[in-house]
Amino acid sequence: MRSSIIRSVESTLRRGRSVVSPSGDHLLRRSFTSAAPLPERKVAILGAAGGIGQPLSLLMKLNPLVSKLALYDIAGTPGVAADVSHINTRAEVAGYMTEDQIGEALEGSDVVIIPAGVPRKPGMTRDDLFNINAGIVKNLCTFIAKYCPNALVNMISNPVNSTVPIASEVFKKAGTYDEKKLFGVTTLDVVRARTFYAGKAKVPVADVNVPVVGGHAGITILPLFSQATSASNVSLSADEITALTKRTQDGGTEVVEAKAGKGSATLSMAYAGALFADACLKGLNGVPDVVECTFVQSSVTELPFFASKVRLGKNGVEEVLGLGSLSDFEKQGLESLKPELKSSIEKGIKFAKEN
């Protein structure tokens, strides 16, 4: 059984097809024909030995678009790097530990993914994470500004509604800020919305797409189920849409409670993080029409940062797309989320300026 699985994965990798998802989000999908060599791309993961970092490191090692994979954490990274490096895929893996090695980890990076920080625990909101994770993110972004100022930065560390503004202020202070290259990873909200919608509508999840806008915590997460697309023509009731919206917003809490204090959404977050990083790499490589929802500097609303569909390209953000037509329920949700999202953004900016 084990050998047949390995043969299947190796065969799939050689063909460049996905071994993760049969949907349009092919994590390992080939972006070019075999006649065109893939560009050299270095990806750095900061927080690679943690609950999200380890499975994320594995998934990025499986991605044929990655030629170099740099794994950094304050402890445990050599073991993770050694383990992942034995996988027979393209990426060369190196592990780095402690701040005196972070420069080498970051130099030459095209994409930097930041899952570093403490996880949520039962009864803890994303806001409760702020004081610890804000300092971690600020410190790491200082190094990014110094060693790889042109890299695309994928922020996973929570609370994303605040850590992205913190990163922007750090980069502004360093004179390296480019709003096209800083992303809050909200892909897990999209992944959950697709999964929950497909389950309720009884349609194949591979056929489903649901935009999720706003932010990345509680009521700031607004799935636009009125814009859900699938191969089947399905109409859900208002009560079902309300329930699906609530479940998507509380998806992280659902996992925290199910793990009974022993963890948070690490595996699904790693998967979502790998999907978004893959989209960034495709954009950098010139693949056309790469569109993902992500939390970026935005003029879609009056708020300075907002998650919506974004077209990715060789410079990062090519275009921030509008919200499209909203249902009355979604319009109400949009207005309801703005005060909380505004407060979280301002909290991040204030922290960065005062510390």
**Residues in binding site:** 47-53, 73, 120, 126, 133, 156-158, 192, 269
Nearest to 27 by CA among 302, 347, 277: 277
What pairing do the DSSP bridges indicate for beta strands 305-313 and 182-184?
unpaired
3-class secondary structure, 114: strand
The residues with which 64 forms a beta bridge, in sequence order, are none
Tell me, yes or no, if 86 is annotated catalytic.
no
**Residues in binding site for substrate:** 120, 126, 158, 192
**Residues in binding site for NAD(+):** 47-53, 73, 133, 156-158, 269
What pairing do the DSSP bridges indicate for beta strands 111-114 and 42-46?
parallel
Handedness of CA 285, 291, 297, 298 (dihedral sign): positive
Give the pair of three-digit tokens for residue 242.
């309300």
Q: How far is CA 31 from CA 17, 56, 211, 249, 340, in A?
A: 10, 20, 23, 33, 39
Work out the number of other CB atoms within 10 angstroms of the CB of residue 21: 16
Q: Catalytic one among 216, 247, 282, 347? A: 216
Give the pair of three-digit tokens for residue 265.
């959404």
Q: Which residues are known to be catalytic?
A: 216
